Amino acid sequence: MITKLDISLKIARQASVDQLVAKQIVQMTLDAMIEALATEGRLELRGFGVFEVRVKSLLPPEG
């Protein structure tokens, strides 16, 4: 499993930027992805994958 912190640390090292800056960049990227999914329902990152919002119906409680 990889966390946002792991991603931030790797970006900070590779880009030679402060860890806080890298953390903000990661969060801004994720926020933009969330916003795109919320408004468009679909996000396509070429060479990586496609994300789509799916609406599931709630199952009635058993018992």
Has residue 61 got a pLDDT over 90? Answer: no
Beta strands in 1-63 (DSSP E): 42-45, 49-52
How does DSSP classify residue 41? S
The model's pTM: 0.79
Does the residue 47 lie in any domain? Answer: yes
**Does residue 26 lie in a domain region?**
yes
Q: Return d(Cα 31, Cα 38) in angstroms, integer.
A: 10
Domain count, the chain: 1
Query: Does 63 reside within a domain?
Result: no
Q: Is residue 46 part of a domain?
A: yes
Asked if residue 59 is part of any domain, the answer here is no
The predicted-structure confidence for 2-59, as pLDDT tens digits, reads as follows: 999 999 999 999 999 999 999 999 999 999 999 999 999 999 999 999 999 998 888 8
- As a whole number of Å, the CA-based R_g of the chain is 17
Nearest-angstrom CA–CA distance, 37 and 22: 23
Is 58 inside a domain boundary? no
pLDDT for 59: 82
Q: Provide the residue range defining the domain that includes 48.
A: 4-52
